[in-house]
Amino acid sequence: MMKMFLLCILLLCTLTSVACAEADIPFIANWGTPVVDADTDSCWSDTPEYDLAAGGSSAKIRILWDDKALYLLAVVTDPTLDESAAAPYMQDSVELFLDERCNRTTYYQQDDMHTRVSFSNYRSVDSGSESRWYTAAKVTDTGYAVECAWEWAVIKPANGHVVGFDVQLNVCRNGQRSAAPCLHDTTGLAYQNTALFGTLELTGRPDAAQTPAYPYALRLAIEKAEARDLTLYVNGSSVDAPLSAAKALAYAPAASQAELDAAFTALSDALNSLDDGSPYTPPEQLLYVAALPDLMTFADGTPVRTAEDWAKRRAEIKGLYEYYMYGYLPDGTGETISYTISDSLLTIHVEKDGKAVQLHVPFLLPEGNAPEGGWPYYVEYSWWGVSDVVKYAVSRGYAGFGYSPYAVASDDSSRTGAFYTLYPYAEHYKTQTGALVAWTWGISKIIDALEMGAGAELNINPVYSLVGGVSRFGKSVAVAGAYEERIKVVIPSCSGAGGLGMLRYSSAGKTYDLTSLGYRNADGSGLWTNGTCESWGNMLAEGAYHWYCGNFRRFTDMYQTPFDQHMLAALTADPERHMIIITGVLSEEWNNVEGQTMAFVGAQPAWDVLGAGDQNNMIVHLSGHAILKSDMELILDYCDKVLYGTEPTRDLSVMKTNVFMEDSNASILLKQLMAK
């Protein structure tokens, strides 16, 4: 009865301040259309007000809706405004969550949005389309105000409609987030899980209500056009006329919706038709294809039958990844490379076009006598120095290097570090290299230094290289395997989305029997259900998009991509090279564990056509977001065999199959790939 009473009060109130709602009591959005300019229009007085407070800051939140969009006004009191951090969530800002269908899934779907706007009106999108979201912000005497419009995408809103909804206030001091109160979620995990959102009920629409013209989609298109360097395009001048017409209409009070829509279409068509001089179709124009692209079929439909065919198909696939997803790895033209060795530190000096950078790479050498040609070596992405896994490799007779990728390229959208000092990020498709490839460049410089003399000085064989990394570094290792053909053994671990997790398949919500891995749940069975998986939206989010090239953000859906990640895995295939994919299970819900197995299995035909089928491998361990020592034992046994002919004491056949390939676990799609 009390809950019903509170709900009635909410429905009747016009100017009310209420605490965060209980899970089954929705927040309320009344009907109204504000002007999105960060000022408080009179219509905002006709909807409830909700309070957020923590860390010495507070916010008053109001929500309105009309037939076109959902609107939010946040008036924030904050004595100290900070946006010194590169990461947007560590800047004073308001974070917004929307699930139009209110599916309340444990993962993000196509209708879900997670967005953010700072006090300086810097927008960032962690899930959903940035083209649906318009904002305005201003600094006030006591803090700041932000006003937002989310354009409806999948529902036809009506009185009584309930959507998933939440708001978070990011309170930041000295480059760190000190508090993050949320209207509903108390776990801090709403960025992964839409089931943690509250709910919002739409109400108050009069029967004869008419929604005014919505100009914000056109204004966003204008912003997008003005941010482009049109001089880089063969037909850049084709945007001039539609841009001029759009600007004339976007702020015209009398503009009709039909006029705004026509201007938006004309400007969008012009932008999507820009010709950058490449041989590739603009991402926006690619067709949606639900089926997995066929690894062993050329773009023109010709099948791959021979090793010679594969070399050409490999170049075709690599070109797609370079243009559409990761960017280009410079070939080193114009670079001057030298090195110094001091104690256990290799310092690599690179100069280009009057600029100079250094890479500092700590290393350890094995004891005893090196094999003929020098020690094999293992490079691990590890910004913290030489890891225990590297030390174990050293104990097994492998030189070990701890490679710090963050010194090469920052792990944020600032595009700073040694790589970007020499190769500044720019809009042209050849110069928009993402961080995963930039980190690969650092690996290339280590190999360069070893080849030019450091290997001889240290008694290391530059040819016998192993490279490994975990998580985002696992993604980069997978990319490095595709781009840097001098890496002999490629070891991507827990790479997930953007690495070897399939784009068109998610293991979220699937149940697997992990008995063969020794797992038992609380009920005593081996059944385990995969929860949230990193979504397509997460890949394009503010905290991740810098890993990829600029063209990748132009896709609106994973089904537009002309590749899937079994094709990335296959780019390592070579008679002289080896792939060993690693993933955990219990620790890897986020990383699309069965999807990584699909990449492993789906790449096998490339290895087979080269006569190197045994050189494609995968290790699945029960838990651990890491390359475990037990993994490394298998890996080094394998490498001892393929490099030196040493017979292993462990059964290496375990790397040819895994728990997800068991008949009771494998999805229909995985079984289809296994049958090829």
Average pLDDT over residues 508-524: 96
DSSP-H helix ranges across 614-661: 629-644
What pLDDT does residue 533 have?
87
Which tokens is 274 given?
């820009």
The larger pLDDT score, comparing residue 169 to residue 127, is at 169
What pLDDT does residue 24 have?
61
What pLDDT does residue 86 have?
86
What pLDDT does residue 99 have?
95
Q: Is it the case that residue 258 has pLDDT exceeding 80?
A: yes
User: Phi, psi at residue 118, to the nearest 5°?
Assistant: -90, 175
> 233 to each of 247, 270, 274, how far by Cα in Å?
21, 12, 6
What pLDDT does residue 534 have?
86
Average pLDDT over residues 253-274: 96
586 in Cβ contact with 621 (< 8 Å): no
What pLDDT does residue 512 have?
98
201 in Cβ contact with 26 (< 8 Å): yes
- Domain extent listing, the chain: 2-203, 216-275, 339-674
- Which residues lie below 8 Å from residue 21, measured CB to CB, with a gap of 6+? 27, 183, 184, 198, 199
DSSP-H helix ranges across 350-411: 388-395
Do 2-203 and 339-674 share a fold? no
The gap from C-alpha 13 to its chain's centroid, in whole angstroms, comes to 42
pLDDT tens digits, one per residue of 385-416: 899 999 999 999 999 999 999 999 999 989 99
Q: Is it the case that residue 8 has pLDDT exceeding 60?
A: no
Check residue 556 and report its DSSP letter: S
Which residue reads 């700590």 in tokens? 362
502 in Cβ contact with 598 (< 8 Å): yes
Q: What string of DSSP letters covers 152-172?
A: --S----TT-EEEEEEEEEEE
227 in Cβ contact with 273 (< 8 Å): no
Question: Model confidence at 270, in pLDDT bands (50, 70, 90)?
Answer: very high
For residue 579, give the nearest of 600, 602, 594 by alpha carbon. Answer: 600
CB atoms within 10 A of CB 54: 14
CA distance 50 to 169: 12
Q: Is it the case that residue 170 has pLDDT exceeding 60?
A: yes
Which residue type does 156 have? K
For residue 439, give the nearest of 414, 394, 475, 413 by alpha carbon. Answer: 475
pLDDT tens digits, one per residue of 26-70: 999 999 999 999 999 999 998 999 999 999 999 999 999 999 999
Which tokens is 501 given?
């997790």
Burial of 391 (0-12, 13-18, 19+ CB in 10 A): middle
Question: Model confidence at 603, in pLDDT bands (50, 70, 90)?
Answer: very high
Which residue type does 489 have? V
What pLDDT does residue 384 have?
85
pLDDT tens digits, one per residue of 326-352: 999 999 999 999 999 999 999 999 999
129 in Cβ contact with 112 (< 8 Å): no
Q: State in words which class domain 2-203 has.
A: mainly beta
Q: Is it the case that residue 458 has pLDDT exceeding 80?
A: yes
What pLDDT does residue 5 have?
35
Which residue reads 């209708």 in tokens? 111
Question: Model confidence at 87, in pLDDT bands (50, 70, 90)?
Answer: confident
Which tokens is 540 given?
């394009």
- The three-state (H, E, C) secondary structure of 408-471, written as one string: CCCCCCCCCCHHHHHCCCCCCCCCCCCHHHHHHHHHHHHHHHHHHHHHHHHCEEEEEEEEEEEC
CA distance 111 to 163: 11
**Bridge-based pairing state of the strands 399-403 and 355-364:** antiparallel
H or E segment and range at residue 179: strand 176-179
Question: Model confidence at 19, in pLDDT bands (50, 70, 90)?
Answer: very low
Burial of 196 (0-12, 13-18, 19+ CB in 10 A): buried
Average pLDDT, the chain: 94
User: Phi, psi at residue 340, to the nearest 5°?
Assistant: -135, 150
The larger pLDDT score, comparing residue 176 to residue 384, is at 176
CA distance 605 to 570: 8
Average pLDDT over residues 246-270: 96
Burial of 331 (0-12, 13-18, 19+ CB in 10 A): exposed
pLDDT tens digits, one per residue of 432-445: 999 999 999 999 99
CB atoms within 10 A of CB 560: 17
CA distance 435 to 475: 10
pLDDT tens digits, one per residue of 460-492: 999 999 999 999 999 999 999 999 999 999 999
Against a cut of 0.95, is the pTM above it?
no
Which residue type does 138 have? K
What pLDDT does residue 542 have?
81
Nearest 10 degrees: Cα torsion 636, 641, 643, 644:
120
Nearest 10 degrees: Cα torsion 129, 130, 136, 138:
120
Span 339-674: which CATH code?
A: 3.40.50.1820
27 in Cβ contact with 198 (< 8 Å): yes
Q: Is it the case that residue 521 has pLDDT exceeding 50?
A: yes
- First CA to last CA across the chain, in angstroms? 61
The helix/strand/coil state of 74 is strand
- The three-state (H, E, C) secondary structure of 599-613, written as one string: HHHHHHHHHHHCCCH
Average pLDDT over residues 629-644: 98
